[in-house]
Amino acid sequence: MNDPTSLSLTQTIDGLAKKSFSESDLNKAYGDRIKKLNPGLNAFLEVKENSKGIPAGIKDLIAVKDMQMTCGSKILEGYTAPYNATVINKLIDNNVSFIGKTNLDEFAMGSSGENSAYGSAKNPWDKNKVPGGSSSGSAAAVAADLCTFALGTDTGGSIRQPASLCGVVGLKPSYGRVSRYGAQAMASSLDQIGPLTKTVADARKVLEWISGPDAYDSNCVKSYFKSTKRLKDLKGITIGIPKLKNQKGSDAGLDIGVLGVMEKAYQKLKELGAEIREIDLPHTEYALAVYYIVMSSEVSSNLARYDGIRFGSTREKFGDEPKRRIMLGTFALSTGYFDDYFIKAAKVRTLVKQDFEKAFEKCDVIVGPVSPTVAWNLGEKISDPLTMYLSDVYTIPASLAGIPGLSVPCGFANDLPVGLQILGKYLDEDTILSVGELYENATDWHKQKPRLQAPERSNGGQAKL
Q: Judged by CB under 8 A, which of 385, 405, 409, 424 binds other proteins?
A: 385
Q: Are 60 and 101 in contact (CB under 8 A)?
A: yes
Q: At what angle do helices 9-17 and 23-41 cross, to 10 degrees?
A: 150
Catalytic residue flag (residue 134): yes
Q: Which of residues 81 and 454 has its CB atom nearest to other proteins in the complex?
A: 81
- E strand or H helix that includes residue 153: strand 149-154
Active-site option among 6, 8, 59, 138: 59
Start-end of H helices in 375-422: 385-389, 396-401
Distances (CA, A) of 450 to 81, 118, 127, 192, 446: 33, 24, 10, 28, 11
Of 28-36, 82-90, 231-239, 411-419, which part binds other proteins (CB under 8 A)? 82-90
Q: CA 406, CA 86: separation in Å to the nearest integer? A: 22
Of 158-166, 258-266, 291-299, 373-381, which part binds other proteins (CB under 8 A)? 291-299
Of 128-136, 234-242, 383-391, 446-454, which part binds other proteins (CB under 8 A)? 383-391
For the CB of residue 90, give the shortest distance to other proteins in the complex, in Å.
Answer: 15
Give the DSSP letter of residue 91. Answer: H
For the CB of residue 373, give the shortest distance to other proteins in the complex, in Å.
Answer: 19
- How many helices (H) and strands (E) are present in the chain, helices listed first? 13, 11
Give the interface size with other proteins as a residue count (CB under 8 A). Answer: 90
176 to 195, contacts with other proteins by CB under 8 A?
176, 180-185, 187-189
**Under rule CB under 8 A, residue 117 binds other proteins:** no
Catalytic residue flag (residue 59): yes
Give the DSSP letter of residue 126. Answer: B
Q: CA 284, CA 291: separation in Å to the nearest integer? A: 11
Q: Judged by CB under 8 A, which of 23, 217, 251, 275 binds other proteins?
A: 217
**Under rule CB under 8 A, residue 375 binds other proteins:** no
**Under rule CB under 8 A, residue 353 binds other proteins:** yes
Active-site option among 134, 296, 297, 300: 134
Q: Which of residues 283 and 449 has its CB atom nearest to other proteins in the complex?
A: 283
**Under rule CB under 8 A, residue 59 binds other proteins:** no
Q: Are 452 and 37 in contact (CB under 8 A)?
A: yes
Q: Are 6 and 457 in contact (CB under 8 A)?
A: yes
Q: Which of residues 42 and 297 has its CB atom nearest to other proteins in the complex?
A: 297
**Under rule CB under 8 A, residue 349 binds other proteins:** yes
| Residues classed as catalytic | 59, 134, 158
